[in-house]
Amino acid sequence: MSLVLKIKRAETPFYASLKRIAKTLIHFDLPFWRPWGRFLNAIYICAKFVIAGLRRLIAILYYGPIFKSRCVSCGRNLYLELVPSISGPVQIFVGDHVYISGALGIASGHVFDKPELRIGDRVFLGHLVSFRVSRQIIIEDGVIITQGCYITDSDEHPLDPELRAQGLPPEAADIKSIRICRNAWIGRGSYILKGVTIGEGAIVGAGAVVTRDVPPMSIAVGNPARVLERHIT
């Protein structure tokens, strides 16, 4: 039997005393002195500002140019925090005042020569948003896509198991473009699948799996997503 187990069980008075000592050490805390706490808090805040400033400087001077070099066009006042992960021959068009929060993944298939990802003005892309572009995905102006969303215009593999086993890509006819219209809001962890149009001003609830069009100014939730309310006021 291990020493630790004997102490935990307090099998003898000796082990019981060791257990009490251990508990005392685990829960030990210094008396609180407010001036000292304020001093440490000031150091903590200053360090946060310095680190944030350095990260922003790196993003402007290093991450931004790397990402822009992979874009066909990129508008003014791009904000990003990390270098987006990009693979495949995707052509990327980015508008003005786009905000990319955290990690962004962009991958393209190889069925079409020049698949396109078009991101409009004032678009917000949350952390861990992922695009899989095989034909075309269009994100119009003012769209909010929150953390962890996955947007793909194909099934990514053939539906036929024999073709999947051969490692073939999906058929061109099975790849269907996606459009997310102006001022739509895509909730956290949602999946937007091939051929879908999200109407202007629509809201997709968190965790929804959208397989059909969502009308403008409506709310859609669930798996598969269904429209709960139309004509948001």
Q: Catalytic site residues?
A: 157
Distance from C-alpha of 224 to C-alpha of 226, rounded to nearest angstrom:
6
* Cα dist from 116 to 38, 110, 111, 138, 172, whole Å: 52, 12, 12, 8, 15
SS3 94: strand
195 Rama class: left (phi>0) / alpha (psi -120 to 50) / beta: left
Distance from C-alpha of 44 to C-alpha of 172, rounded to nearest angstrom:
55
Distance from C-alpha of 54 to C-alpha of 75, rounded to nearest angstrom:
23
